[in-house]
Chains A and B, each alone.
Chain A
Amino acid sequence: MERRTKVELFLLDNLIWLILAGYFLINALVTPRFFTYNNIINIFYHSTILGMLVLGQGLVLMTGHLDLSIESTLAFAPGIAILLTTKWVPGLNPIIAIILTLLIGALVGLFNGYCITRIGINAFLQTLSMLIILRGLVLYLIPLAIYGLDETYIFFGRARTFGNIPVAVFLMLGIFVLFDFVLKRTPFGRYLLATGGNARASYISGINTNKSIISAFVLAGLLASVAGLLAAGRQNAVNNTMGDGMVLLSFAGAILGGVSVSGGKGTSIGMLGGTLFLGMISNSLTLLGVNVFIVYALQGLLIFVALVLDRVKVKAEELLFRREMLKKLGISMKKD
C-alpha cells in the first residue's frame, strides 16, 4: 500500500483526535480563559464521569447491543451502598461501601446480560425497563439527597494530587489505557469484537458468545458504578437525579470515538477522544457564555453529527481503497 494512503487511513481511524486537536487550537486562540492550566485540568476532571459511561456503552455497542440503564445504575449503585452503610447497617467500613457500589453495578449488568442472552429479551427493551426501574427506586429511597459522605468514599471523586490534578483524572486515564490493552491484547477483547462483528460465525468458531455479551454488560454496569462513585465524591452527596440524561451523551462519545453502532469495531483510546471532545465543547461554550440549554441542544446535535461522521468515514475509506485498486490495475495494465 502506498505511504500516502496509509497515512490517510491512519488519520481516518483516529479522526476524533484530529478533530479534538483542531477544536483545541481554535479555542485556545478564540475563547478567553480557555488555554490555562486550571481550565485544561478542569476539562479532564469534568470528563471523568461521562468517560466511564462512554467506555461502558462502547463495550456493549461493540458486541452489537446497547445499554440504556447505565445512567440509572450511576445513581442506584452508590445510593444503595450509602444507604446500606449509613442508614440500614450504620457504622460499616466505608471501604465496604466502595466495594458494594461496584458490586451492585456489576450485578445490574449481570442481570441485564443474563436476560438478554439466556431469556432472549431485546437489549433495548431490557435496559429501558432497567433504566426506569432503577431510577424509580432511587427516587423513592432517596427523596432528595444524602449529604456529607465519608472521607474515604469521596476520595476518588474529590481528592487532588500533585499539580492539583484530581485523582479521578488519573483513574479515568488508567482505566482507558487498561481497556485499550484488554481489547488489543487479550482473547477476551478479541472475542468481544468478534461477537459483535458476526455472532453466528463467532459461535461456530468456538467462541462462547453469550459469555462475551454478558461480560460486556457486567463491565458497563461496573463502569457506571465507578462513574457513580466519582459523581458522589465530587458533590460529596448522593442525589436522586445523578446521571439523568447522560446515557444519550454516552452514545455520542462512543460513536464519536469510532465505535460502530452495529458492533465489531471500536477502540478504547478513540472513546477517550470522544469523551474529551464532548467535555471540551461544553467547557468552551460555557466559557463563551452560551446558554446552558443551547449547550444541551448542541450536544444533541453532536450525536447526529457523530452518526453522519461514521457513515462519511466508511465512504471515505471505500474511496481510498478504490483509488488504491485503480492505481494497481493501471500499473498492471501498463505491464501487460
Chain B
Amino acid sequence: MIKLNEEEKESNRENDFIVQFKDVTKIYSGTVALHKINIEVKRGEVHGIIGKNGAGKTTLVGIMSGIIDPTEGEIIIKGKKYRSISRQRAKKEGISIIPQESQVIPDLSVVENIFTPDYIRSWGNFINWKKMYSKIEKVIDESQININPYTRAGDLSISEQQLLLVLKACFIDNAQVIIFDEVSSSLTKKDEEVLYRIIREQKKKGKAILFISHSMEEILEICDLVTILRDGKVIAKEECACLDKDKLSYFIVGGEYNYKEHKVGEESGREEEKESNEIVLSVRNFTKFGAFQNINFDLKKGEVVGLAGLRGSGRTELFKAIAGIDLADKGWIKIGNEEKRFTDPAQALQNGIVYLPEDREKEGLIDILAVRENLTLSSLPCLLNKVKLINLEEEKKMATTLVERLSILTPSIEEEVKKLSGGNKQKVLMGKVLSANPIVYLLDEPTKGIDISTKKEILKIIKEELSRFAGIIMSSPGLEDLILICDRILVLHKGEIVGEFFEDKFKEIDLYRAVQGVRDKFVENN
C-alpha cells in the first residue's frame, strides 16, 4: 500500500467513519458492561463484533441504535459529537438495526410490514398502494429473495421473517449504517447464504455494516474486520484475512482462567457420595423434530452435568421435553425402573423430576403470591395433615428453613415475591425446586440475570445442597459457570450432543470450540 502522509490519512478518516465511539463506558448498578470502548464503523466495510455472553455485545448495539444511554464517552456521527443518541436521532442519521428476534406484525402483509410506518403517500396523506407494490416488486427482484409480498407476515417462517427485516433495513429505510444483531441464529442454511449475498452487495454500495455474532465461522466468512470484546473491553481489532479459528477463539476466551482455584464446593464429604454409581436418569434416542435428535446420556446420583450450547442449540427444548412440558416425538427416558415419556409436568414431578425454567418471571414464579406460597407450591402434597389440609405450621417452618438455608433476603415469608430483587427471586425459585425434593433437577440457566455475588451463592447452593441426594443437569448462557461446578459437560450443537468433557479435561477454549460446532479440533491441533 502507498503510504499516505499523516494529514491526508486524518482527513480520509473523518470522511470514511460514519459512526465512531470514543471511550464509551456503560455502568449498570455496580457492574461495568462496557469499559472505554473505541470503535469505528466505516463506509464499505463489514465490521464484525464477537465475544462471549456478557462480553458487552448487546449493550454496544443498544447504545449505537439509541436504545441505551451510555454513562460516559462520546459518539461521533458524521463528524458531529453526541453524548448519547435517541432512537429518533439514530433513525434520522440512517442507523438501522435488525434485532435478534424478528419483530414482524403477524397480521399485516409483507408489504405493509416493510413500509410500516413510513408508507409512501400521495394526494395529501393517502397511502399509495400502487407505488408501494411496484417498489416492493423491484426490491424483491433486486435482492432475489423468494418471498411473496402479498402473504401475511405471520405465515412466513421465522427465517423468512428475519430476511424481511433485512430487506426493510437495506432497501427501504435506506440506512447508511446497518447493524445485524445475531441475525443469522434464526436463519436456515439457505437463507444464510442469501443474507451473506445481500451484505456483500450492500458493502459494495458503500454502506457501513456492523455484524454481531457469536459464531466464529460466520465472522470469518463475511467480515473484513473484527473487534473482539471480553468483559466489556475491546481485546483486539484484527483483519479477518489474517485470522483463523484458533487465533480468534484464543482472543475470545482469553488466557486459560484458573478455575481450579475458584471451584465451588469441593468440601469434604462430597467424595464419598460421588462414588455412588447409582444412575438416576437415562435418556435414550430422545428426539423432537426440529429441536434435538438422538439424545443419549445417563445421569448419576450426586452428579452435576452441564449442558453447553449456543442459543437455539436445543437446550431449553430438551429440558422441557424431559420434564413433560413440551412433548418429545421419539425415544424415552428411564427414571426409577420405568421407561417412559412424560406428557405433563405434574407426572414428571411425581416421578421426581423438577424443572427450573429459564424465564423466571413468565414460567417460574407467581409474583403476586407470598414468598411462602411460592416456596411450597410444588411440595404441598407433602405438607398435608391427616385430613388432607395444609399444615400451616409445617408450611411456615419449611418456608422459614428454606429462606435461611438459601439466605433469601426478604422482610418476611409473607412478602409478595414481586417486591424482591432479581437475585432473591431466583433464590426463591431455587427454593421451590429444592422443596419438591426430586431425584433429578433440570436447571435451565439458573444463573441468568443475577449479579456476581448472588451467582456465586446460587452455584454453591447447586453444588452443595441440591446435589446431595439428586442428579443435576444444568445449562448456562456462558461456559464459566459450568466449568466452575460441573463434574461433566455435554455439548449440544444444532440439537445433537457433539462432545462430552470430564472435569479433569475442562479447558474453556476446547469447550468453546465444541459449542461452536468445531468437530475436527484434534486434527487442527496437531
Contacts and interface: CB of A to CB of B under 8 A. Distances in A.
Nearest to A6: B412
Nearest to B433: A205
A197 B369 contact: yes
A204 B373 contact: no
Given A200-B363, A204-B323, A205-B432, 11 more contacts: A185-B389, A186-B389, A194-B366, A194-B377, A197-B366, A198-B366, A204-B364, A206-B345, A206-B346, A264-B368, A264-B369
Given A187-B390, A206-B346, A206-B349, A200 B381 contact: no
A135 interface: no
Interface string B309-347: 000000000000001010000000000000000001110
Interface in A236-253: none
A208 B346 contact: yes
B439 to A, nearest CB: 15
A205 B369 contact: no
B310 to A, nearest CB: 24
A197 B368 contact: yes
Interface residues of A, number: 25
Contacts of B419: 321
B380 A187 contact: yes
Interface residues of B, number: 33
B85 to A, nearest CB: 33
B357 interface: yes
A190 interface: yes
A324 interface: yes
Most chain B CB atoms below 10 A, which of A184, A187, A208, A265? A187
27 contacts: A1-B412, A184-B390, A186-B388, A186-B389, A186-B390, A187-B381, A187-B384, A187-B390, A190-B373, A194-B366, A194-B373, A197-B366, A201-B362, A201-B363, A201-B366, A202-B366, A203-B345, A204-B355, A204-B357, A205-B377, A205-B432, A206-B348, A206-B378, A207-B377, A260-B368, A264-B366, A265-B368
A162 B412 CA distance: 45
A201 B344 CA distance: 13
A193 interface: yes
B389 A198 contact: no
B412 to A, nearest CB: 6
A201 B367 CA distance: 10
Contact of A204 (B325, B367, B369): B325
B392 interface: yes
Interface of A: 1, 184-187, 190-191, 193-194, 197-198, 200-208, 260, 264-265, 321, 324
B269 interface: no
B345 A204 contact: yes
B418 to A, nearest CB: 10
B33 interface: no
Among A184, A207, A260, A265, residue most surrounded by chain B Cβ atoms (within 10 Å): A207
B349 A201 contact: no
A203 B320 CA distance: 12
Nearest to B369: A197
Among B323, B363, B366, B411, max chain A CB count under 10 A is at B366
Contacts of B472: none
B411 A324 contact: yes
A183 to B, nearest CB: 11
B365 interface: yes
| 6 pairs of A and B residues whose beta carbons are closest in the complex | A206-B349, A197-B366, A206-B346, A198-B366, A187-B380, A185-B389
Nearest to A199: B366
